[in-house]
Chain A
Amino acid sequence: MLSIKNLTASINGTPVLKGIDLEIKAGEIHAIMGPNGSGKSTLGKVLVGHPAYEVTGGEVLYEGRNLFELAADERARAGIFMGFQHPIEVPGVSNAAFLRLAYNKKAEAEGRDELDPLEFDDFIHEKIKLVAMKEEFLDRSLNEGFSGGEKKRNEILQMAVLEPKLAILDELDSGLDIDALRVLGDAVNKLQRPDRALLIITHFPRILETIQPQFVHVLSGGRILKSAGKELATELEDRGYDWVLEEAAAGGAR
């Protein structure tokens, strides 16, 4: 589904990604962990087409197509979704109107029927149950004044509405209370299908107990230093990142 080869990218002339290789197949769940500032969010933003990041080298194929030939909104309609670490607030734009427009843009691109406000109302009521969101949030301005956890819930609601093929969830778990973590984790699991894939960016193994990855990668200093199975997450929690860095340095010296 997604094939990243030797990807390098910089922001304001500073290199942040320094050669990423990552292969994600349909049906897989991958987790990326790593120290603060290591480039995890950057990787996600580069993949969704954030204009501030400059791709300086490498290649990314999404379903066999060169990802960088698609504009950000085309990538989204082609099925790539990112749940942001810090979702932005948009005053005056109703959450429901935003969700409906996003849904209809995708429906249009896929040749499906668009939903009018009444049809969408029925549709969205099913979706908010999935993420246990209160109805009143639909009428509020998009993310405006939402608490950190409410914003994350709204991100997963959007994911549920758009049903992406590849969802990149950047620190979904930060800011979530215990119940919310379980509810949203379950929701993400319910949305997962054999033809879909997940890339979970996190600092904590806890969420990976609900959303169980087959692969865990350690990203540090703009490179993936180690990839292993799910058990790596717990090991990282116990031992921190230093040993991975040391191991990698030794490997590099060899």
Chain B
Amino acid sequence: MSSTLNVVTSQEYKYGFVTDIEADSVAPGLNEDVIRFISAKKGEPDWLLEFRLKAYRHWLTMTEPDWAKVAYPKPDFQKIVYYSAPRPKKPQYASMDEVDPELRRTFEKLGVPIHEQEALAGVAVDVVFDSVSVTTTYREKLATVGIIFCSFSEAVKSHPDLVKQYLGSVVPSSDNFYAALNSAVFTDGSFVYIPKGVACPMDLSTYFRINNKESGQFERTLIVAEEGASVSYLEGCTAPQFDTNQLHAAVVELVALDRASIKYSTVQNWYAGDKDGVGGIFNFVTKRGLCKGKGSHISWTQVETGSAITWKYPSCVLLGDDSIGEFYSVALTNHKQQADTGTKMIHIGRNTKSTIISKGISAGDSSNSYRGLVKVQPKAEGARNFSQCDSMLIGQSCSASTFPYIEVQNRSARVEHEATTSKIGEEQLLYFQQRGIPAEEAISMIINGFCKDVFRELPMEFAVEATKLLSLKLEGSVG
């Protein structure tokens, strides 16, 4: 066994480099003045400053959650820099040519499809670099059908009523410790609005990247799909290598009105720390979708491969009758990574349906937990849920756990839960090797087979990327 499945991964983080850009930052630390500084810097209206301050005051009364199966040194919130932005040489960029060449090289190294070719391929990219959106492509084209796709700060200026109406309507600022922190200090993110009856003609895509050492990143994303509208949104990210842990606490809110559909896909590959667990991103994210309207549909698909610590539960609140929530997840952990991820499906409306497919893969010394809640409220007549949670172990020293919580308050509801744990054992590997397939390729094939039900939910090019990413992450997992 030990010779074939000796799990020592030596793969170094491919995207580990630092961009030198003059940052425009506040001193580390958090207090009301810092929040006022951020708000003033961004020229925000009073109601938004109030939103932030209220969140901050509430945050002060909260303590960091410790129920997740992750262990880490608690971040020192007074050491974090809450605002940093690449300083534009000019106030506006007419095209990519005007963007800081250093920054462009970074994007090229990352393979961010920001060039015209990629844009022509049908992907509009809203790039968040540190905290400020640098450029947005294809926005005009989208605007002709009434779609708004812009940075959050811009949306605050150009569509304040929409932002005011929906901000915090799915994830209240008091929701949890990290959501409260985000609500107080978020600097930027993305805003998407799809008007009534419009099917967004292309996948919308955002690449995130954490750059400034010791700058916490607090993204805020809000996606609203009006009656009968539909959109597919892609989020992907990579980060440079650091020795100090970086905190990332994003909030994503989705709102789907009558018969609207939102598909949100993530491929996450943040720096996970080195083999010994030094460095890496702390990823504490609150993602929630509200199926507000009748027959609305929200689908989360995630491929989580990075971060030292992942704490993330993309959820659906199924308020509208006949609404549908879906969660498809692959979470891969290796070395000393820890992931506690899953979903919450809250059935409130009648005949609401939810599907949960979770695939956890652990290698090295990592720990991988699925935590999911299916809650059927008293009025959710005819609610149905199907959950399938599979874990795969590679090697002897990793662990996988499943924590399903089921609360059913309506007798007509049907809730099904299936769970399996398997090992890429020597028998399976030998079978592939006996047919001439080297162990690494065998593992990659077995893993992709294991994840198939999730990958097929991803947009085509994302699925290809995800497949490569998993193989890359497991390189060296067999000796």
Contact = CB atoms under 8 A, between A and B. Distances in A.
A162 B4 contact: no
Given A92-B451, A93-B446, A98 B430 contact: no
Contacts of B452: 92
A102 B436 contact: yes
A61 interface: no
17 contacts: A50-B430, A72-B430, A72-B434, A73-B433, A73-B439, A75-B434, A76-B435, A76-B436, A77-B436, A92-B450, A93-B448, A97-B445, A98-B445, A102-B436, A105-B435, A106-B436, A162-B436
Nearest to B438: A73
Nearest to A73: B433
A158 B430 contact: no
B161 interface: no
A88 B428 contact: yes
A87 interface: yes
Nearest to A84: B431
A91 B437 contact: no
A101 B441 contact: yes
A52 interface: yes
By size class, the interface of chain A is 20 to 34
Given A51-B3, A98-B445, A90 B433 contact: no
A128 interface: no
Nearest to B442: A73
Contacts of A75: 434
A49 B430 contact: yes
Contacts of A93: 445-446, 448-449
Contacts, number: 81
Which are the 9 A-B pairs with shortest beta-carbon distances?
A92-B449, A93-B449, A102-B435, A72-B433, A76-B436, A73-B433, A92-B452, A105-B436, A77-B436
A24 B177 CA distance: 71
Nearest to A44: B434
B433 A105 contact: no
A1 B59 CA distance: 75
A51 B426 contact: yes
Contact of B445 (A77, A82, A101, A158): A101
Contacts of B426: 50-52
Interface string A18-34: 00000000000000000
A214 to B, nearest CB: 26
Contacts of A10: none
B434 A81 contact: yes
Interface in A27-83: 45, 48-52, 71-73, 75-77, 81-82
A232 B310 CA distance: 65
Interface of B: 1, 3-5, 426-428, 430-439, 441, 445-446, 448-453
Contacts of B427: 88
A90 B437 CA distance: 14
Contacts of A84: 431, 434
A249 interface: no
Interface in A87-131: 87-88, 90-94, 97-98, 101-102, 105-106, 109
B15 to A, nearest CB: 28
B448 A52 contact: no
Given A50-B430, A51-B3, A88-B427, A101 B437 contact: yes
Interface string A150-165: 0000000010001000
A164 to B, nearest CB: 10
A86 to B, nearest CB: 9
Contacts of A227: none
Nearest to A76: B436
Given A52-B1, A88-B427, A92-B452, A82 B434 contact: yes
B433 A71 contact: yes
Contacts of B431: 84, 87-88, 90
Given A72-B433, A93-B448, A101-B441, 12 more contacts: A51-B5, A52-B426, A73-B437, A73-B439, A75-B434, A76-B435, A84-B431, A91-B449, A92-B450, A92-B452, A105-B437, A162-B435
Contacts of B432: 73, 98
| Max chain A Cβ within 10 angstroms of own Cβ: one of B427, B433, B439, B452 | B433
A105 B452 CA distance: 23
Given A73-B433, A88-B427, A90-B431, A51 B449 contact: no
A88 B446 CA distance: 12
Contacts of B434: 48-49, 72-73, 75-76, 81-82, 84
B429 to A, nearest CB: 8
